[in-house]
Structure 1
């Protein structure tokens, strides 16, 4: 049974349609998926980012949408391909671990999504090239690069350098992967780079709010309090409702919430990555991944049930302050707490100098919702054609 579009999805569709003169590409537009390096590689003056940026305004004058290069076609990448097909985004290139497909005229996103869901690879496409990622990015030279690659803790500096180069070239970059920001939070969030960087999906749909308020939050935030991991919230809710540990795990799998390595969620490591990024971005304190204190033990099923009988609940709560380093723990909370969010939400709270809590709630949970958060960044970063009014 197909998923019924919610109001948020409908608003996204209307926003894309209102902003750009787009229509889904037909399969004929990408027949053969040609990748002719000699014909397509462009000569760009990389020492002049301003000149390069001005060239990216061409799509505005033409009233067309910007070109998009998708990196990574796991669950989130596949859902983003669905959105490209549904909203007519001008997808010109896709890259997975096997190679890169590129067509200047545009790729048909729907069969690419189906290919990946069937276990195929982009290398199966005619004329796909097994290019190194950096080479593919230089050749394709898209207006917008969407990074849905898995977070790789062994390649953080490389990922950060790649994104810095793209931003300095005047390209927009949208991150669902955490690698680049973990590799270099400070300089990627400097202006003018920050104005071309989207992190809405990376923080569960709250990244735009953080970017919009970052300067104020850097001055006023005394402590960060967050519930950044929806998987553990779902597991807690299922167990409180009477499910066994195995049944709760099965539900999380059905909802598609687990990272590629489920232990990333269960151990708190996924939440630790986000808390480390926030500590650097907002508190501007040096924070290494190994400094984040993880829960001493995993989820205690009997303890959760005992708390529930007392009318309380539990969340994997992250905290960090200017005096104390980042820490994660399974915290008992009142059910009326603003941080007691349902599992389809994440919460990032910033305790300000007047004692108030600035709360950012995000719905970018699961592959589809994460892809929709990527689309929101696309709409925010890509200017509308100059002769059209944005609703």
Structure 2
């Protein structure tokens, strides 16, 4: 059980952030996730905003030193490198089109990187960054923020131990209704760039939503290798074209398993957005983010079982992040906190040369980020060719 105690021997990582300011939809999640237990990361410097004054005002409102609230990331990296107490890790919480250049600059400055998803626009950029990270001896992690829920590790343990038999079907859904209002694209600062192809890339909801759920399926079923996808996508709010606000994806895996993904921001009225169902030859597992502490376990011919977070019958891996005990409900910030705890552990291990820990920590790493790029681009290619099968 994890009760928020200090897990790394050193002082908290001195942490900076690029983006994630006052108008950001994700900045607060990053800050609270990183500093919830106040043991792994300490927010030291920031380039919150393209508006330097707004950046300073926001940083000061958080209790930061005004002199370490910088006008841009290049200045932050340059000035922090001059300090004995300069930052050691940087968080990239910018619009997608900046992820690659900021991540590259951070690695060149000798910093570990935590980057928002989707990682970059092209897989080749990911491979270049992977080579640079290896040269610099640094970690690049990706904030698939839902993937820190404890019960996903329980599902992984049951899948990999064979309790479900052979995996035959993977059913995925991330479909909410908060994109139904076309005026929202204009009113929300965080939404404007998400529907601009120049800033978001080749997809809207396929990148913004489905990469979360796709990675979670990889976490749960690590041995399932995707072979090809067929994608049909729509822009029901026409101003979003050529990007999509709804998509259906069929998947073929190398071992013969099949899958489906429904991804949408125009699923009007739905508040239970993410669903994952793993169907094996013997049994199935089902989870949704409306009840993240519960997994349905359905063995063919037997009564359905409900598995609850925090109880002793769970696999040890599902207990590693436990803070509050059974019957006390967790939420999205707990998931983010679990991720940041793992990021700190793996970064500390990397700095100490402990490659065994680096290899064994379960977290969304650079390879998973590259897989996300390939997923988005294959889906977009399939849809643009008229919904045909495309190799991944």
| TM-score, normalised with respect to structure 2 | 0.44
Indicate the structure with greater helix content: 1
Indicate the structure with greater strand content: 2
| TM-score, normalised with respect to structure 1 | 0.44
